[in-house]
Amino acid sequence: MKAPLSILMLCFFLYVLQAQDKYDYVWPNGYVSDTSLNNPAIFQGGSLMDFNKSPLELSYFRIPLWLRAYTSICDKNGQLLFYTNGCQVINREHRLMENGGGLIGGNNPNNNCSSHSYSSAQGELALPPFPGTPDLYFIFHLSTLLDHPPYYIIRDLQLTTVDASAENGLGRVIEKNRVIFHGYFADQLTAVRHANGRDWWIVAPKMLSNTYFIWLFTPQGLQGPMEQSIGSVWTWRDWGGQAVFSPDGSKYARANFENGLHLMDFDRCNGVFSNSVRIKSELPLNDTGPTGVGFSPSSRYLYLSWSIRLFQFDLRAANISNSRTTVGTAQHYSFFQQRLAPDGKIYMSSSIGMNYLHVIHQPDNPGMSCSFEEIGLTLPTRRSFNMPNLPWFRLYELPGSPCDTLRVQVPPVVRITVAPNPAYDELRVSLSEIYAGRPALFRLYDALGHLVYHARWEADSYTLVADVSNLPAAMYFWEVLSEAERLGQGKVVVAR
Protein backbone atom coordinates (compact mmCIF):
# COMPACT_ATOMS: atom_id res chain seq x y z
CA MET A 1 0.00 0.00 0.00
CA LYS A 2 1.36 3.40 -0.91
CA ALA A 3 1.98 5.85 1.90
CA PRO A 4 -0.32 8.88 2.02
CA LEU A 5 1.07 11.90 0.23
CA SER A 6 0.96 13.94 3.43
CA ILE A 7 3.27 11.46 5.18
CA LEU A 8 5.67 11.42 2.23
CA MET A 9 5.80 15.20 2.20
CA LEU A 10 6.44 15.27 5.94
CA CYS A 11 9.30 12.79 5.61
CA PHE A 12 10.62 14.77 2.68
CA PHE A 13 11.33 17.79 4.87
CA LEU A 14 12.87 16.00 7.85
CA TYR A 15 16.62 15.81 7.62
CA VAL A 16 19.50 14.86 9.83
CA LEU A 17 22.27 17.30 10.65
CA GLN A 18 25.54 15.51 11.21
CA ALA A 19 27.67 16.52 14.16
CA GLN A 20 30.35 18.90 12.98
CA ASP A 21 33.70 17.43 13.99
CA LYS A 22 36.30 20.03 13.09
CA TYR A 23 39.41 17.87 13.02
CA ASP A 24 40.45 19.39 9.66
CA TYR A 25 39.63 23.05 10.31
CA VAL A 26 43.23 24.34 10.35
CA TRP A 27 45.70 23.55 7.56
CA PRO A 28 49.36 24.43 8.06
CA ASN A 29 51.43 25.00 4.96
CA GLY A 30 55.11 25.69 4.87
CA TYR A 31 58.27 25.90 2.87
CA VAL A 32 61.64 26.75 4.35
CA SER A 33 64.97 25.45 3.08
CA ASP A 34 66.61 26.59 6.34
CA THR A 35 64.70 27.38 9.53
CA SER A 36 66.81 30.53 9.96
CA LEU A 37 65.21 31.86 6.78
CA ASN A 38 61.68 32.24 8.16
CA ASN A 39 60.82 35.56 6.57
CA PRO A 40 57.52 36.47 4.89
CA ALA A 41 59.29 39.14 2.86
CA ILE A 42 60.90 36.34 0.84
CA PHE A 43 57.84 34.07 1.17
CA GLN A 44 59.69 31.67 3.50
CA GLY A 45 57.93 30.29 6.57
CA GLY A 46 54.50 28.95 7.43
CA SER A 47 50.98 29.82 6.30
CA LEU A 48 47.92 28.80 8.33
CA MET A 49 44.56 28.31 6.66
CA ASP A 50 41.88 28.61 9.36
CA PHE A 51 38.40 27.42 8.36
CA ASN A 52 36.93 28.32 11.74
CA LYS A 53 36.54 31.80 10.29
CA SER A 54 34.25 32.75 7.43
CA PRO A 55 35.66 33.68 5.06
CA LEU A 56 38.80 31.58 5.43
CA GLU A 57 41.47 33.34 7.51
CA LEU A 58 45.14 33.27 6.52
CA SER A 59 48.09 33.98 8.82
CA TYR A 60 51.87 33.68 8.91
CA PHE A 61 53.86 31.65 11.44
CA ARG A 62 57.47 30.62 11.94
CA ILE A 63 57.73 27.04 10.75
CA PRO A 64 60.32 24.64 12.18
CA LEU A 65 60.49 22.32 9.16
CA TRP A 66 59.59 21.90 5.52
CA LEU A 67 56.13 20.43 4.99
CA ARG A 68 56.33 18.30 1.91
CA ALA A 69 54.09 15.24 2.34
CA TYR A 70 52.26 15.82 5.60
CA THR A 71 49.16 15.47 7.73
CA SER A 72 47.64 17.61 10.48
CA ILE A 73 44.79 17.42 12.97
CA CYS A 74 42.73 19.64 15.26
CA ASP A 75 40.60 18.78 18.26
CA LYS A 76 36.88 18.31 17.61
CA ASN A 77 36.31 22.04 18.16
CA GLY A 78 38.77 23.10 15.48
CA GLN A 79 41.86 24.03 17.53
CA LEU A 80 45.08 22.90 15.87
CA LEU A 81 46.81 20.17 17.87
CA PHE A 82 49.75 19.01 15.76
CA TYR A 83 51.11 18.31 12.30
CA THR A 84 53.84 16.04 10.98
CA ASN A 85 55.91 15.56 7.86
CA GLY A 86 56.70 11.95 8.70
CA CYS A 87 59.90 12.88 10.48
CA GLN A 88 58.81 15.09 13.38
CA VAL A 89 55.58 15.88 15.21
CA ILE A 90 55.07 19.62 15.71
CA ASN A 91 52.67 20.95 18.36
CA ARG A 92 50.18 23.81 18.05
CA GLU A 93 52.84 26.31 19.14
CA HIS A 94 54.92 25.22 16.14
CA ARG A 95 57.60 23.58 18.25
CA LEU A 96 58.78 19.99 18.35
CA MET A 97 56.33 17.99 20.45
CA GLU A 98 57.74 16.21 23.50
CA ASN A 99 59.27 12.94 22.19
CA GLY A 100 58.13 13.99 18.72
CA GLY A 101 61.40 13.52 16.85
CA GLY A 102 62.68 10.52 14.92
CA LEU A 103 59.44 9.28 13.41
CA ILE A 104 61.19 7.87 10.40
CA GLY A 105 63.92 5.26 10.78
CA GLY A 106 65.53 2.92 8.33
CA ASN A 107 68.67 2.83 6.29
CA ASN A 108 68.57 5.92 4.14
CA PRO A 109 71.39 8.16 5.37
CA ASN A 110 70.60 10.83 2.77
CA ASN A 111 67.21 11.52 4.32
CA ASN A 112 67.59 14.73 6.31
CA CYS A 113 64.70 14.61 8.76
CA SER A 114 65.83 17.72 10.59
CA SER A 115 64.28 19.94 7.93
CA HIS A 116 62.84 17.85 5.10
CA SER A 117 60.33 15.08 4.82
CA TYR A 118 60.97 11.98 2.80
CA SER A 119 60.03 11.69 -0.84
CA SER A 120 56.42 10.73 -0.39
CA ALA A 121 53.29 12.26 -1.81
CA GLN A 122 50.77 10.79 0.63
CA GLY A 123 52.60 8.87 3.33
CA GLU A 124 51.20 10.21 6.63
CA LEU A 125 47.68 10.25 8.02
CA ALA A 126 46.39 11.47 11.41
CA LEU A 127 43.17 10.10 12.91
CA PRO A 128 41.10 11.36 15.86
CA PRO A 129 40.37 9.65 19.20
CA PHE A 130 37.88 6.87 19.79
CA PRO A 131 35.04 7.32 22.29
CA GLY A 132 36.35 6.63 25.76
CA THR A 133 39.92 7.83 25.04
CA PRO A 134 39.35 11.47 24.02
CA ASP A 135 43.00 12.53 24.20
CA LEU A 136 44.68 9.78 22.16
CA TYR A 137 45.36 10.67 18.52
CA PHE A 138 46.98 8.40 15.97
CA ILE A 139 49.50 8.91 13.16
CA PHE A 140 49.86 6.23 10.52
CA HIS A 141 52.98 6.64 8.41
CA LEU A 142 54.80 4.76 5.70
CA SER A 143 58.50 4.59 6.41
CA THR A 144 61.98 3.47 5.39
CA LEU A 145 62.39 5.04 2.02
CA LEU A 146 65.08 3.33 -0.07
CA ASP A 147 66.08 5.84 -2.71
CA HIS A 148 67.38 4.17 -5.87
CA PRO A 149 66.46 6.58 -8.68
CA PRO A 150 64.24 6.40 -10.58
CA TYR A 151 62.59 4.15 -7.97
CA TYR A 152 61.20 5.37 -4.68
CA ILE A 153 60.60 2.31 -2.54
CA ILE A 154 58.47 2.74 0.55
CA ARG A 155 58.02 -0.08 3.01
CA ASP A 156 56.50 -0.69 6.43
CA LEU A 157 53.34 0.85 7.81
CA GLN A 158 53.98 2.28 11.26
CA LEU A 159 51.81 3.76 14.01
CA THR A 160 52.65 6.64 16.33
CA THR A 161 50.34 7.66 19.19
CA VAL A 162 49.96 11.14 20.68
CA ASP A 163 48.50 12.08 24.07
CA ALA A 164 47.11 15.53 23.31
CA SER A 165 46.42 16.33 26.98
CA ALA A 166 50.05 15.94 28.09
CA GLU A 167 52.48 18.83 28.60
CA ASN A 168 49.67 21.22 29.54
CA GLY A 169 47.84 20.57 26.31
CA LEU A 170 50.85 20.77 23.98
CA GLY A 171 50.91 17.00 23.62
CA ARG A 172 53.43 14.21 23.91
CA VAL A 173 54.26 11.27 21.66
CA ILE A 174 53.75 8.26 23.92
CA GLU A 175 54.56 5.56 21.36
CA LYS A 176 56.21 5.85 17.98
CA ASN A 177 57.32 3.82 15.01
CA ARG A 178 55.38 0.71 16.01
CA VAL A 179 55.54 -1.44 12.89
CA ILE A 180 52.07 -2.53 11.84
CA PHE A 181 53.05 -4.37 8.70
CA HIS A 182 56.23 -5.22 6.80
CA GLY A 183 55.58 -4.74 3.11
CA TYR A 184 56.20 -2.59 0.06
CA PHE A 185 53.76 0.18 -0.73
CA ALA A 186 52.91 2.53 -3.56
CA ASP A 187 52.38 5.51 -1.26
CA GLN A 188 48.80 6.93 -1.31
CA LEU A 189 47.80 6.11 2.27
CA THR A 190 44.10 6.81 2.86
CA ALA A 191 41.31 6.16 5.35
CA VAL A 192 37.51 6.22 5.50
CA ARG A 193 35.16 5.77 8.43
CA HIS A 194 33.51 2.39 8.91
CA ALA A 195 29.74 2.23 8.41
CA ASN A 196 29.30 1.73 12.15
CA GLY A 197 30.28 5.37 12.70
CA ARG A 198 33.23 4.68 14.98
CA ASP A 199 35.96 2.57 13.38
CA TRP A 200 38.19 3.33 10.39
CA TRP A 201 39.29 1.48 7.28
CA ILE A 202 42.99 2.13 6.49
CA VAL A 203 43.97 1.51 2.86
CA ALA A 204 47.44 1.34 1.30
CA PRO A 205 48.11 0.07 -2.26
CA LYS A 206 50.82 -2.53 -2.69
CA MET A 207 53.76 -1.61 -4.89
CA LEU A 208 53.76 -2.78 -8.52
CA SER A 209 50.46 -4.59 -8.31
CA ASN A 210 46.68 -4.29 -8.30
CA THR A 211 46.57 -5.34 -4.65
CA TYR A 212 45.29 -3.22 -1.79
CA PHE A 213 46.10 -3.75 1.88
CA ILE A 214 43.05 -2.96 4.03
CA TRP A 215 43.08 -2.72 7.84
CA LEU A 216 40.21 -2.19 10.25
CA PHE A 217 41.18 0.19 13.05
CA THR A 218 39.05 -0.11 16.21
CA PRO A 219 39.47 0.82 19.90
CA GLN A 220 40.87 -2.69 20.35
CA GLY A 221 43.59 -2.11 17.76
CA LEU A 222 44.21 -3.05 14.14
CA GLN A 223 42.73 -6.04 12.38
CA GLY A 224 44.23 -7.30 9.14
CA PRO A 225 45.41 -6.59 6.67
CA MET A 226 42.96 -8.02 4.23
CA GLU A 227 44.40 -8.17 0.74
CA GLN A 228 42.24 -7.54 -2.28
CA SER A 229 43.41 -7.63 -5.90
CA ILE A 230 41.16 -5.69 -8.25
CA GLY A 231 41.50 -3.73 -11.48
CA SER A 232 44.61 -3.14 -13.54
CA VAL A 233 48.15 -3.79 -12.33
CA TRP A 234 50.06 -0.58 -11.67
CA THR A 235 53.48 -0.15 -13.29
CA TRP A 236 56.77 0.75 -11.62
CA ARG A 237 55.79 4.40 -11.80
CA ASP A 238 53.09 3.84 -9.23
CA TRP A 239 54.45 6.39 -6.77
CA GLY A 240 53.16 9.92 -6.68
CA GLY A 241 49.74 11.07 -7.73
CA GLN A 242 46.91 10.87 -5.22
CA ALA A 243 44.20 8.61 -3.80
CA VAL A 244 41.06 9.75 -1.99
CA PHE A 245 37.68 8.50 -0.78
CA SER A 246 34.50 10.38 -1.62
CA PRO A 247 32.86 12.34 1.22
CA ASP A 248 30.04 9.77 1.43
CA GLY A 249 32.58 6.93 1.54
CA SER A 250 31.07 5.03 -1.38
CA LYS A 251 33.80 5.75 -3.96
CA TYR A 252 37.58 5.50 -4.09
CA ALA A 253 39.67 7.24 -6.72
CA ARG A 254 43.37 6.77 -7.37
CA ALA A 255 45.42 8.35 -10.14
CA ASN A 256 48.88 9.19 -11.40
CA PHE A 257 50.31 10.19 -14.76
CA GLU A 258 51.61 6.73 -15.70
CA ASN A 259 48.61 4.63 -14.72
CA GLY A 260 45.71 7.00 -15.33
CA LEU A 261 42.55 7.27 -13.24
CA HIS A 262 41.17 4.28 -11.33
CA LEU A 263 37.72 4.49 -9.78
CA MET A 264 36.07 1.87 -7.55
CA ASP A 265 33.06 1.42 -5.30
CA PHE A 266 33.72 0.75 -1.61
CA ASP A 267 31.59 -1.04 0.95
CA ARG A 268 32.09 0.71 4.30
CA CYS A 269 30.54 -2.21 6.14
CA ASN A 270 32.87 -5.03 5.02
CA GLY A 271 35.80 -3.05 3.58
CA VAL A 272 35.64 -4.47 0.05
CA PHE A 273 36.21 -2.74 -3.28
CA SER A 274 34.13 -3.48 -6.38
CA ASN A 275 33.30 -2.22 -9.90
CA SER A 276 36.78 -1.10 -10.88
CA VAL A 277 36.93 1.36 -13.79
CA ARG A 278 40.16 2.52 -15.41
CA ILE A 279 40.33 5.68 -17.52
CA LYS A 280 43.70 6.01 -19.24
CA SER A 281 43.69 5.72 -23.03
CA GLU A 282 40.90 8.31 -23.23
CA LEU A 283 43.08 10.93 -21.52
CA PRO A 284 45.57 13.18 -23.33
CA LEU A 285 49.25 12.45 -22.88
CA ASN A 286 50.66 13.71 -19.59
CA ASP A 287 54.43 13.66 -19.67
CA THR A 288 55.06 16.16 -16.88
CA GLY A 289 53.77 14.06 -14.01
CA PRO A 290 51.53 16.06 -11.68
CA THR A 291 48.22 14.28 -11.10
CA GLY A 292 45.60 14.60 -8.38
CA VAL A 293 41.99 13.68 -7.63
CA GLY A 294 39.17 15.19 -5.57
CA PHE A 295 35.44 14.72 -5.00
CA SER A 296 32.73 17.36 -4.71
CA PRO A 297 30.89 17.60 -1.35
CA SER A 298 27.91 15.64 -2.68
CA SER A 299 30.26 12.92 -4.06
CA ARG A 300 28.66 13.35 -7.48
CA TYR A 301 31.56 14.99 -9.33
CA LEU A 302 35.13 13.76 -9.52
CA TYR A 303 37.92 16.15 -10.48
CA LEU A 304 41.15 14.96 -12.09
CA SER A 305 44.22 17.21 -12.13
CA TRP A 306 46.12 16.21 -15.24
CA SER A 307 49.23 18.33 -15.65
CA ILE A 308 47.93 21.60 -17.14
CA ARG A 309 44.30 20.45 -17.43
CA LEU A 310 41.53 20.02 -14.91
CA PHE A 311 38.77 17.54 -15.80
CA GLN A 312 35.36 16.98 -14.22
CA PHE A 313 33.60 13.60 -14.36
CA ASP A 314 29.93 13.05 -13.52
CA LEU A 315 29.71 9.85 -11.49
CA ARG A 316 25.96 9.60 -12.13
CA ALA A 317 26.51 9.41 -15.89
CA ALA A 318 25.81 6.13 -17.68
CA ASN A 319 29.34 6.31 -19.10
CA ILE A 320 31.64 8.07 -16.64
CA SER A 321 34.53 8.33 -19.08
CA ASN A 322 32.36 10.07 -21.68
CA SER A 323 31.17 12.58 -19.09
CA ARG A 324 34.62 14.18 -18.96
CA THR A 325 34.53 17.97 -19.20
CA THR A 326 37.53 20.29 -19.20
CA VAL A 327 36.87 22.92 -16.54
CA GLY A 328 40.33 24.47 -16.34
CA THR A 329 43.54 24.90 -18.31
CA ALA A 330 46.70 26.18 -16.63
CA GLN A 331 48.03 29.50 -17.84
CA HIS A 332 50.77 29.85 -15.22
CA TYR A 333 51.25 26.77 -13.03
CA SER A 334 50.40 23.10 -13.42
CA PHE A 335 47.72 21.37 -11.36
CA PHE A 336 48.55 18.72 -8.76
CA GLN A 337 46.96 17.40 -5.56
CA GLN A 338 43.48 18.38 -4.38
CA ARG A 339 41.75 18.55 -1.01
CA LEU A 340 38.09 19.20 -0.22
CA ALA A 341 37.88 21.77 2.59
CA PRO A 342 35.30 22.41 5.32
CA ASP A 343 34.07 25.47 3.40
CA GLY A 344 32.90 23.24 0.54
CA LYS A 345 35.66 24.36 -1.86
CA ILE A 346 38.41 22.20 -3.35
CA TYR A 347 41.92 23.63 -2.98
CA MET A 348 44.65 22.46 -5.33
CA SER A 349 48.43 22.63 -5.29
CA SER A 350 50.89 22.96 -8.14
CA SER A 351 53.89 20.80 -8.92
CA ILE A 352 56.27 23.53 -7.78
CA GLY A 353 56.59 25.41 -4.51
CA MET A 354 54.68 28.69 -4.67
CA ASN A 355 52.54 30.91 -2.45
CA TYR A 356 49.31 30.15 -4.29
CA LEU A 357 46.58 27.53 -4.38
CA HIS A 358 44.10 26.92 -7.17
CA VAL A 359 40.46 26.83 -6.10
CA ILE A 360 37.26 25.14 -7.30
CA HIS A 361 34.73 27.44 -5.68
CA GLN A 362 31.53 25.51 -6.41
CA PRO A 363 32.57 21.90 -7.04
CA ASP A 364 28.99 20.56 -6.93
CA ASN A 365 28.05 22.57 -10.03
CA PRO A 366 28.35 20.93 -13.46
CA GLY A 367 30.93 21.96 -16.03
CA MET A 368 32.29 25.46 -16.06
CA SER A 369 29.75 26.56 -13.45
CA CYS A 370 31.99 24.85 -10.87
CA SER A 371 33.85 28.19 -10.90
CA PHE A 372 37.46 27.03 -11.07
CA GLU A 373 40.00 29.78 -10.42
CA GLU A 374 43.66 29.35 -11.19
CA ILE A 375 45.73 31.04 -8.46
CA GLY A 376 42.51 31.50 -6.49
CA LEU A 377 44.16 31.88 -3.07
CA THR A 378 47.34 33.80 -2.22
CA LEU A 379 49.23 32.57 0.86
CA PRO A 380 51.70 34.55 2.99
CA THR A 381 54.52 32.12 2.15
CA ARG A 382 55.49 29.48 -0.32
CA ARG A 383 54.33 25.93 0.19
CA SER A 384 55.34 22.57 -1.21
CA PHE A 385 53.45 20.66 -3.88
CA ASN A 386 51.49 18.24 -1.66
CA MET A 387 48.17 18.95 0.03
CA PRO A 388 47.61 17.80 3.64
CA ASN A 389 46.57 14.15 3.71
CA LEU A 390 43.21 14.15 5.54
CA PRO A 391 40.17 11.87 5.56
CA TRP A 392 36.67 13.34 5.45
CA PHE A 393 35.89 13.53 9.15
CA ARG A 394 32.18 14.41 8.87
CA LEU A 395 31.14 10.95 7.75
CA TYR A 396 29.39 8.84 10.34
CA GLU A 397 27.22 5.73 10.56
CA LEU A 398 25.49 4.53 7.43
CA PRO A 399 21.76 4.38 8.26
CA GLY A 400 20.22 1.00 7.60
CA SER A 401 23.50 -0.81 6.98
CA PRO A 402 23.96 -4.36 8.35
CA CYS A 403 26.71 -3.07 10.64
CA ASP A 404 24.88 0.06 11.84
CA THR A 405 24.75 -1.06 15.48
CA LEU A 406 27.02 1.16 17.53
CA ARG A 407 25.12 4.46 17.41
CA VAL A 408 28.22 6.29 18.57
CA GLN A 409 27.45 9.38 16.49
CA VAL A 410 23.81 10.25 17.13
CA PRO A 411 23.26 13.58 15.41
CA PRO A 412 20.68 16.11 16.45
CA VAL A 413 17.70 16.55 14.15
CA VAL A 414 17.30 19.67 12.08
CA ARG A 415 13.96 20.22 10.43
CA ILE A 416 13.96 22.12 7.18
CA THR A 417 10.67 23.46 5.85
CA VAL A 418 10.34 24.95 2.39
CA ALA A 419 6.94 26.55 1.91
CA PRO A 420 4.59 27.23 0.33
CA ASN A 421 4.73 24.45 -2.22
CA PRO A 422 3.73 25.37 -4.86
CA ALA A 423 5.21 28.86 -4.47
CA TYR A 424 4.29 31.98 -6.40
CA ASP A 425 6.35 35.02 -5.41
CA GLU A 426 8.13 34.06 -2.19
CA LEU A 427 9.58 30.91 -0.74
CA ARG A 428 10.20 30.70 3.01
CA VAL A 429 13.01 28.37 4.08
CA SER A 430 13.07 27.69 7.81
CA LEU A 431 15.44 25.73 10.03
CA SER A 432 14.64 24.35 13.46
CA GLU A 433 16.10 26.18 16.43
CA ILE A 434 18.59 23.43 17.22
CA TYR A 435 20.56 24.43 14.15
CA ALA A 436 21.33 27.96 15.36
CA GLY A 437 24.99 28.86 15.42
CA ARG A 438 26.30 28.61 11.86
CA PRO A 439 25.61 30.34 8.55
CA ALA A 440 23.94 28.35 5.79
CA LEU A 441 23.39 28.48 2.04
CA PHE A 442 20.14 27.93 0.14
CA ARG A 443 20.32 27.00 -3.54
CA LEU A 444 17.74 26.34 -6.26
CA TYR A 445 18.49 24.39 -9.46
CA ASP A 446 16.42 23.92 -12.58
CA ALA A 447 15.75 20.53 -14.17
CA LEU A 448 19.05 20.71 -16.09
CA GLY A 449 21.05 21.26 -12.93
CA HIS A 450 21.70 24.97 -13.51
CA LEU A 451 21.91 27.12 -10.40
CA VAL A 452 19.08 29.68 -10.70
CA TYR A 453 18.97 31.12 -7.19
CA HIS A 454 21.22 31.18 -4.15
CA ALA A 455 21.22 33.06 -0.88
CA ARG A 456 23.08 32.99 2.41
CA TRP A 457 21.71 33.61 5.85
CA GLU A 458 23.54 33.98 9.12
CA ALA A 459 23.39 32.02 12.34
CA ASP A 460 21.15 34.48 14.18
CA SER A 461 18.23 33.86 11.80
CA TYR A 462 16.11 30.75 11.37
CA THR A 463 14.17 31.79 8.27
CA LEU A 464 15.17 32.92 4.80
CA VAL A 465 12.72 34.52 2.38
CA ALA A 466 13.65 33.73 -1.23
CA ASP A 467 12.27 35.85 -4.06
CA VAL A 468 11.17 33.48 -6.84
CA SER A 469 8.89 35.92 -8.63
CA ASN A 470 11.19 36.08 -11.66
CA LEU A 471 11.52 32.32 -12.11
CA PRO A 472 9.49 30.55 -14.81
CA ALA A 473 6.78 28.18 -13.68
CA ALA A 474 8.45 24.79 -13.29
CA MET A 475 9.72 22.24 -10.81
CA TYR A 476 12.99 23.13 -9.09
CA PHE A 477 15.42 21.27 -6.86
CA TRP A 478 16.63 22.86 -3.62
CA GLU A 479 19.42 22.17 -1.16
CA VAL A 480 20.61 23.68 2.12
CA LEU A 481 24.35 23.59 2.85
CA SER A 482 26.55 24.50 5.79
CA GLU A 483 30.30 24.07 6.06
CA ALA A 484 30.37 21.66 3.09
CA GLU A 485 27.58 19.54 4.64
CA ARG A 486 24.29 19.11 2.81
CA LEU A 487 21.62 19.51 5.49
CA GLY A 488 18.72 18.77 3.21
CA GLN A 489 17.46 18.70 -0.35
CA GLY A 490 14.14 18.40 -2.10
CA LYS A 491 11.78 19.66 -4.78
CA VAL A 492 9.53 22.67 -5.00
CA VAL A 493 7.14 23.89 -7.69
CA VAL A 494 6.95 27.51 -8.78
CA ALA A 495 3.50 28.29 -10.19
CA ARG A 496 2.07 31.25 -12.05
How far, in Å, CA of 312 to CA of 392, rounded? 20
241 and 199 within one domain: yes
Strand partners, 84: 71, 89
CATH, residue 444: 2.60.40.380
Of the residues 334, 363, 383, which one is the last residue of a structural domain? 383
Note whether 440 and 330 are same-domain residues: no
The predicted structure's pLDDT at residue 17: 33
Give domain status of residue 405, yes or no.
no
pLDDT at 32: 73
Q: Per-residue b/e over 17-29, b at no fewer than 16 CB within 10 Å?
A: bbebbbbbbbbbb
**Which CATH number do you get for residue 364?**
2.130.10
Tell me, what's the pLDDT at 464? 82
Model pLDDT, residue 113: 54
pLDDT at residue 53, as a whole number: 86
Q: Half-sphere exposure of residue 253, counting CA atoms within 13 Å on the CB side? A: 30
How is residue 98 annotated by DSSP?
B
Q: Can you give the C-alpha Rg of the chain in angstroms? A: 23
Answer for the pair 323, 278: CB distance below 8 angstroms, yes or no.
Answer: no
Same domain, 67 and 185: yes
Count of domains forming the chain: 2
Instruction: Find out whether 103 and 160 touch, Cβ atoms under 8 Å.
Output: yes
| Residue 144 belongs to a domain | yes
d(CA 269, CA 252): 15
Are 341 and 438 part of one and the same domain? Answer: no
- Averaged over successive runs of 10 residues, the pLDDT of the chain (496 residues) comes to 35 36 94 76 90 91 88 96 93 96 58 48 93 95 67 82 97 95 91 94 95 96 95 82 94 94 96 96 80 93 95 95 96 92 93 91 93 96 92 85 64 73 88 62 83 77 83 90 73 89
Q: Are residues 38 and 10 in the same domain?
A: no
227 shares its domain with 90: yes
Establish if 189 belongs to a structural domain: yes
**pLDDT for residue 149:** 54
Measured at the alpha carbon of residue 461, what is the angle toward residues 455 and 463, in degrees to the nearest 5?
65
Exposure b/e, 59-79, CB count within 10 A at least 16 = b: ebbebbbbbbbbbbbbbeebe
Residues 6+ apart with CB under 8 A from 241: 121, 187, 188, 254, 255, 256, 257, 259, 291, 292, 293
| Dist. CA 340–CA 333, nearest whole Å | 20
On whether both 355 and 489 belong to a single domain, the answer is no
Residues 91, 100 contacting (CB under 8 angstroms) = yes
Contact 30, 48 (CB under 8 A): no
Q: Is residue 198 part of a domain?
A: yes
Same domain for 370 and 422?
A: no
- CA nearest neighbour of 187 among 386, 393, 395, 392: 386
Task: Let me know whether 244 and 328 are in one domain.
Answer: yes
Inside any domain, residue 180: yes
Position 355 in a domain: yes
Residue 132 shares a structural domain with residue 224: yes
Range of the domain at 479: 5-16+417-494
- Tell whether 373 is covered by a domain: yes
Distance CA 258, CA 336 (A): 14
Flag whether 274 is in a domain. Answer: yes
Q: How far is it, in rounded angstroms, from Cα 388 to Cα 67?
A: 9
Alpha carbon 474 to its chain's center: 36
Closest alpha carbon to 386 in 116, 140, 156, 203: 116
Same domain, 95 and 220: yes
Shared-domain flag, residues 9 and 39: no
